[in-house]
């Protein structure tokens, strides 16, 4: 059985039109998409089901802007582990910190790269000192504060 990274799906023009519309607005009604691309609602539904089954569509989600909730500071933290074997437990504990919104296993100097959101720099320092750096196995961290996210997009079809 092929792993997800080994899979490749061929998209035709209709698939791309449907996906582009949903990537712009995931709440677009199927019948509206069907009219736009010139096929029936049933055909759109069948194509979406095929794309879901192929794992190209990994789900849909509601996006919340954390700034509106008062989380004005976004940072990336490179985490050094004292031993590689600690990765799984460190990731489990990082997953329990609500401010951690992404966690990546990386190559290079760090073992782990996380993205966190905080109310301000003081909150960031508190999360680092009282949560992240208290995790057993983390030997040190490097923090980079994002001043502004200038590009945010999905892969092009």
Task: List residues bridging with 67 in a β-sheet.
Answer: none
Residue 84 pLDDT level (bands cut at 50, 70, 90) = confident
3-state helix, strand, coil in the chain (%, to 5): 40, 20, 40
Give per-residue pLDDT as tens, 49-76: 999 999 999 888 888 999 999 999 999 9
- The domain 66-146: what is its CATH number? 3.30.70.920
Over residues 30-52, mean pLDDT: 95
pLDDT at 38: 95
Locate CATH 3.30.70.920 in the chain.
Answer: 66-146
Burial zone of 90 (CB within 10 Å; 0-12 exposed, 13-18 middle, 19+ buried)? buried
pLDDT at 145: 98
Answer whether residue 1 shows pLDDT above 70.
no
Share of the chain above pLDDT 90, in %: 82
Give per-residue pLDDT as tens, 106-143: 999 999 999 999 999 999 999 999 999 999 999 999 99
Q: Are 157 and 16 in contact (CB under 8 A)?
A: yes
pLDDT at 31: 95
pLDDT at 157: 86
Contacts of 138 (CB under 8 A, 6+ apart): 79, 80, 81, 82, 86, 90, 132
d(CA 18, CA 37): 7
Return the sign of the alpha-carbon dihedral for residues 80, 86, 90, 92.
positive
- The domain 13-53: what is its CATH number? 1.10.10.10
Locate CATH 1.10.10.10 in the chain.
Answer: 13-53
pLDDT at 4: 58
């Amino acid at each position: 059985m092929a792993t997800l990274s080994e899979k490749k799906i061929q998209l035709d023009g209709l698939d791309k039109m449907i996906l582009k519309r949903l990537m712009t607005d995931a709440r677009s009604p199927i019948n509206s998409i069907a009219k736009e691309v010139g096929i029936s609602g049933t055909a759109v539904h069948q194509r979406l089901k095929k794309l879901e089954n192929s794992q190209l569509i990994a789900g849909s989600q509601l996006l919340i802007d954390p700034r509106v909730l008062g989380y004005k500071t976004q940072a990336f933290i490179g985490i050094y582990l004292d031993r590689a074997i600690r990765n799984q437990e460190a990731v489990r504990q990082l997953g329990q910190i609500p401010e951690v919104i992404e966690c990546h296993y990386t190559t290079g100097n760090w073992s782990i790269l996380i993205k966190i959101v905080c109310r301000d720099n003081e909150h960031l320092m508190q999360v680092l000192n009282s949560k992240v750096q208290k995790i057993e196995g983390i030997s040190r961290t490097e923090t980079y504060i994002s001043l502004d996210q200038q590009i945010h997009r999905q892969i092009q079809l």
